[in-house]
A and B are shown apart, each in its own frame.
Chain A
Amino acid sequence: MSSHQVRVSNLRVVTSDAADRAAVLVKDVSFTIPRGEVLALIGESGSGKTTVALALLGHTRAGCRIAGGSIEVAGTDVLALGSRQILDHRRRRVAYIAQSAAAAFNPARRIMDQVTETTVVGRLMTRNAAREKAVELFRSLALPDPHRIGERYPHQVSGGQLQRLLAAMALMSDPELVIFDEPTTALDVTTQVEVLREFKRLIQERGTTALYVSHDLAVVAQLADRVVVLNSGEVRESGPTMRVLGTPTDSYTRSLVAAATGREAVCALRREVAIAASVGVSGRGDLSEPLEPLLSVDGLTAGYGKVDAEGFPSAIALRDVSLVVKRGGALGVIGESGSGKSTLARALAGIVAPAFGTLRLEGQLLEARMERRPRKQLRRIQIVFQHADAALNPAHTVAHILSRPLKLYFGMHGTERNERIARLLDLVHLDRSMAARRPPELSGGQKQRVNLARALAAEPALILCDEVTSALDAAVGAAILELMAELRRELGLSYVFISHDVSAIRAICDEVTVLYAGQVVDSGPLRRLDDPAAHPYTRLLVSCVPEMRSGWLEDAPATLGQLGTARLDASR
């Protein structure tokens, strides 16, 4: 047997449309993984990294096919296998850990039945032996109550636990190769650290050969021995992790590393239009002089469901939240999923009516419900949503989308309106020809720019940004952040910037509020994030953001151990 567990050479995957229009998704990709090593496939969305990973299973997504090359896993030529042999290949030799554990588990069946299913159906083990093995894996993955957790249903465990259970499922058959496909991308940072730590320990203990697919360089730096950088289906660079991430030679890898280490650098690389004032990304630092409050929120309590006798909704998402946004300021609201940060944006916009509390815009009381707010107030607060594609009506052209606020708020018509639309497109650095396109024809970054332009069309004082960069690739997100900082300087806008991403908050905000379980646990200027006197939860959040240096993961647990209890105190 060769020393290489996996050998992929000149792999080529194409779409199986009519032959003349076939698009090449993966072009001549070659790599090897020595036994017991972890190789990371790095790339942005659409780079073909998942396509390569699936090809190792002998699988392609509907509409694609493997057009050439060879794949060898543990001495077996995967592409030569028949349909029965390929099943056996997937049962015994290769395991796949998907990005979304919640989507990978069947919600209607017990976890244990699903974890043991493959081995039992494939007659690799008896049912009892499989159960024992599963419990042993649960224990080694540090899952709570390993004997009984299998009796629960998927919705009864947390997201991080479910991801580890998925890993247990994958390792049941002691596979020759484990494929991790962005296994922690859907998790909160604090959960991600726990899961990564368990994955790393397991890989080391068992000497697992693994392919780790990710866009997150910092995560990759903790786990992988070697990396392969993919871009539009082609290998751009490969080599030992620290060499590639430390001293990248390829221009594309450099832009990826730059996006991960500093947002300023990537903007300089990526921007087509050079802007004179591209010194600092945000105007932070020189805002010491007192600014008048633009929006003040006092004692905001909001939630969903039926309202009880005292006026509390049955599910409270926000409890007694107070904050102030200064004119021209950018307030970052940070928190994990379920912390109520999206509810905050919706309450400020009037989509969710708060149960208690007052909102004031420029000193004037704001009505709780948007239906009651006068149009003038609606115009002053605009909201930009996370999912750029869901926020744009797919049936309308960009020009139509941008024309509505102009018509509604300013009564603009004809050439005046068209000129304004063109100027708005200029403002967000989109080509004027985009006006005739429809959202499905735009890329993610372009859609988010159109979203921003629509908000700007209203000439607002305040823009609520709900996770605006979370669905975008790092470099695209960095460009959007840079654009937002530029707009803020030029137009004197204020932002409420809601995010779970500490580095995005750092890039654009000058004040920060930390939400935990619907309550404000910490607030202050941006430097509060690095203040040792900050609330333990704030420090936990900041310390859990992965760093690119190797050995970060080993350092993190120490802080986590101390903070684990503090975190519980904050929640109860």
Chain B
Amino acid sequence: MSPFVTPETRSEIPATKPGAAATVTGRKRKSLPLSGRIGLVMVLFWVAVALVGPLIAPHAPGAVVSNKVFGPMSLRFPMGTDYLGRDMLSRVIFGAQYTVGLALAAAVMASASGTVLGLLATISGRWVEEILSRLLDALICVPSTIFALVMVAAFGSSLPFLLLTAALSYVAGAFRIARSLAVNLSVQEYVQAARVRGEGRLHIACVEMLPNMIHPMLADFGLRFMFIVLMLSGLSFLGLGVQPPAADLGSLIRENLSGLDNGAPAVLLPAIAVATLTIGVNLLIDSLPQRGDDA
């Protein structure tokens, strides 16, 4: 999986009919298909690792605990040791915290502001809509990784800036999705009925439209989270993301790259960690719309 895939190609999948999505809440939830359950388990596992992992990690992330570099898996070091002889298990646990935490925060920012802007564009007059759309169209033209590189080159690589860069790269896509959902909803007869009734724009946006776009937006949020994980890992792999001594999963791969020749677990395991996290989210998201469809 490459971090250069744009989310727009994928995000069409979860957009369900607004009515179909809403019926799910009205009745008892159907059970997830098997792939969805596997995805859910994988996602929950990584969230749990990020939340409680640091409490149970055997060593501090920076502590050099072994004099053997690129050590194999053993009872004492279940994931081996890295290029300085640090415990890989502890490194991965703390790395996961960075990756999951940063990506989650950035995805929340991107999806939330995208939804708000999308609704704003739909209910406001033509000019606001035109300006917002063109501005975000311009943003969407810039490849997200190039954009991130420029941001890091210009402002350095601090955590808040990484967060902002990731959120900014993906807000345009979320805006597009939210706007197309909102435009579809705005011609629904119940929205027209609200307009004829004389309801304010804010009421129409928040009460009539928002509840009916939450489900597809949540699915979109999951996709965006996945792409941000990949982008941040990619940046860190290039050495532009999370800076040492802290490390996310991407930087773990980079710093242990020299162990690739002898197949050290130190380079393979963080890569597997990124893969399971993103595949898990992907499986979960893909199985979500089916629940709405067969309603």
A binding-site residues for B, Cβ under 8 Å: 62-63, 349-351, 370, 373, 375, 378-379, 382-383, 385, 387, 389-396, 404-405, 408, 438, 440-441, 454, 458
Instruction: Select A351's contact among B25, B195, B198, beta carbons within 8 Å.
Output: B195
Task: Say yes or no: is B108 at the interface (Cβ < 8 Å to chain A).
Answer: no
Known contacts A394-B18, A394-B19, A408-B198, A454 near B193 by CB under 8 Å: yes
- Rounded to whole angstroms, the CA-CA distance of A58 and B193 in the bound complex is 44
Interface residues of B in 228-285 (CB under 8 A from A): none
Is the beta-carbon distance between B195 and A404 smaller than 8 angstroms?
Answer: no
Is the beta-carbon distance between B197 and A391 smaller than 8 angstroms?
Answer: no
Known contacts A385-B189, A390-B189, A390-B190, A395 near B196 by CB under 8 Å: no
Instruction: Select B198's contact among A378, A389, A440, beta carbons within 8 Å.
Output: A378
Task: Say yes or no: is B90 at the interface (Cβ < 8 Å to chain A).
Answer: no
Interface size on B, residues (CB 8 A): 24
- Rounded to whole angstroms, the CA-CA distance of A379 and B295 in the bound complex is 36
The chain B residue sitting closest to A390, CB to CB, is B189
Known contacts A63-B294, A390-B188, A441-B26, A370 near B211 by CB under 8 Å: no
Task: Say yes or no: is B35 at the interface (Cβ < 8 Å to chain A).
Answer: no
Is the beta-carbon distance between B197 and A404 smaller than 8 angstroms?
Answer: yes
Is the beta-carbon distance between B212 and A458 smaller than 8 angstroms?
Answer: no
Count CB-based A-B contacts (< 8 Å). 65
| Cβ contacts under 8 Å, B189 to chain A | 385, 387, 390-391
Is the beta-carbon distance between A394 and B193 smaller than 8 angstroms?
Answer: no
Min C-beta distance of A458 to chain B, whole Å = 7
Is the beta-carbon distance between A389 and B19 smaller than 8 angstroms?
Answer: yes
Interface of B is mostly: helix
Task: Say yes or no: is B194 at the interface (Cβ < 8 Å to chain A).
Answer: yes
Is the beta-carbon distance between B22 and A395 smaller than 8 angstroms?
Answer: yes
Known contacts A385-B189, A389-B19, A440-B23, A458 near B197 by CB under 8 Å: yes
| Cβ contacts under 8 Å, A375 to chain B | 198
State the 4 A-B residue pairs at the shortest beta-carbon distance, nearest first: A395-B211, A394-B22, A391-B189, A378-B198
- Rounded to whole angstroms, the CA-CA distance of A350 and B195 in the bound complex is 10
The chain B residue sitting closest to A405, CB to CB, is B197
Task: Say yes or no: is B124 at the interface (Cβ < 8 Å to chain A).
Answer: no
The chain B residue sitting closest to A401, CB to CB, is B190
| Cβ contacts under 8 Å, A458 to chain B | 197
| Cβ contacts under 8 Å, B193 to chain A | 383, 385, 391, 454
Is the beta-carbon distance between A408 and B212 smaller than 8 angstroms?
Answer: no
| Cβ contacts under 8 Å, B191 to chain A | 393
Interface residues of B in 5-24 (CB under 8 A from A): 18-19, 22-23
| Cβ contacts under 8 Å, B129 to chain A | none
Min C-beta distance of A13 to chain B, whole Å = 17
| Cβ contacts under 8 Å, B192 to chain A | 351, 385
| Cβ contacts under 8 Å, A392 to chain B | 190
Interface residues as binary, B171-214 with A (CB distance below 8 Å gives 1, 0 otherwise) = 00000000000000000111111111111000000011001100
